[in-house]
Amino acid sequence: MTATHRIAVIGDGTSVAGFRLLGFATFGVEHPTDAREVWEEVSRGDYGAVFVTEPVYAEIEDLVAEVADRPVPAVTVIPSAGSTGGVGAAKLDRAIERALGTAVPQKEEEG
């Protein structure tokens, strides 16, 4: 028997609204710190993937780290509505640094 997992999105109301149309479970939070209360529900294993906006991730990074070695949920950081991003790139840089044992210098773009 194959288990079916749902997909959840946690973030501000504007950022999560479009995901509801796709059938995802959405958890709009007024403040990123409110996501700590929502996290308990979405991290139990019913959700196979959880998308969190960057401001939310910044507030619950410690909770996400606790489930990092479990198969579900897979957590992905997404920009919030109107955001230019940044947390996702920083997370990738840290993973590369851990894998290589050193930071990789960033090439400056010529312009």
Model confidence, pTM: 0.75
Residue 53: both structure tokens together: 């906006």
Query: 6 pairs with which residues across the strands?
Result: 47
Walk along the chain (111 residues) and give the pLDDT tens digit of each residue: 456 789 999 999 999 998 999 999 999 999 999 999 999 999 988 999 999 999 999 999 999 999 988 989 999 888 888 776 666 666 667 666 777 777 666 655 555
Q: Residue for token digits 């996400």?
A: 64
CB 50 within 8 A of CB 74: yes
| Cα 1 to Cα 90: distance, rounded to the nearest angstrom | 39
E strand or H helix that includes residue 42? helix 35-42
- Phi, psi for residue 42 in degrees, rounded to 5: -80, -15
